[in-house]
Structure 1
Amino acid sequence: MEKNEKKELIKKIFSEVLGASSVDTKIIEKYISSDYIQNVDGNTLDYDGFISHMKKQKEVIDSLDVDFLAIAQDGENVFTNHIVTAVKKDKSIVKVKVIAQFVIKNNLLVKCDELTQMLSGKEEDKDIGSRH
């Protein structure tokens, strides 16, 4: 991949996977490795856990927007500092700050290590980043 292609791949994953209105495993397979591991706030999800996480999110989230405050690439690693604003189906809003390290190999996301901080929203949504 060229210098900025991994950063662009992360942005595509956010728009086409996380921003999609439903869970489409064909699209997920296009971007995410079957041996994917995600560590978020002390919780670990494998590929199937990630699919479950996406389905749980789609049950409660109507739409989301990602604002990348900073994004950097170093070899196979992409680091982001971003704000996710989600509009839930009940029209309430959850805003989360995320610091994440993504690892890309063979044009697929293989690992995500992230910390999240809820900036605004209901107490019940504190686990929105890892719910599955």
Structure 2
Amino acid sequence: MPPLDTVQQALSRVLSGPTLDEALLQRFFSERYTQIVNGEPLDSAGFVAHIRLLKEVTQRLELTLLSIAASGADVHTHHTVRAIKNDGAESEFEVFAHFEVEEGKIVSCRELTRQIAGAAHDKDLGSRQ
């Protein structure tokens, strides 16, 4: 699968599912996966903890892909994520991300995320563990 398709499917399938699907994470993300969100590093275990927390505190996540471009193994996205929390409160984030894909799996993501709507205490929802 081309890197662009890998990233696009990973974003839509991992974020949109109602629960943490570890088999899906293993399909799309390398064991060596690292992520940096607004300067905050997450290793693979931290990323799994982050996704688990998102699934626990939200009813659903809605991703809107605004643009995506690839050059070789590098994929860049501009997308928004709307989080509908269990209490009905909503927050929305704008994300600019650079993914690196090796051997069909995402090995790293460096992203800038900014909250564009919602409660101030959700500002760190993009990296909270």
Unaligned runs of 5+ in 2: none
Q: What aligned pairs does 1:44-55 form with structure 2 within 5 A after superposition?
A: 44-55=41-52
- Give the conservation status (yes or no) of the 8 Å contact 2:91–2:115: yes
Q: TM-score w.r.t. structure 2 length?
A: 0.96
Percent identity for Structure 1 against Structure 2: 35
Is 1:20 the counterpart of 2:17? The answer is yes
Structure 1 segments (4+ residues) deviating >6 Å: none
Secondary structure, aligned partner of 1:30: helix
Deviation at 1:128, TM superposition (A): 0.4
Partner of 2:70: 73
Q: TM-score w.r.t. structure 1 length?
A: 0.94
Secondary structure, aligned partner of 1:129: coil
Secondary structure, aligned partner of 2:34: strand
State how far apart, in whole Å, the 2-side matches of 1:121 and 1:94 are: 4
1:83 to 62, 80, 83: 80
Secondary structure, aligned partner of 1:39: strand
State how far apart, in whole Å, the 1-side matches of 2:61 and 2:52 are: 14
Secondary structure, aligned partner of 2:14: helix
Unaligned runs of 5+ in 1: none
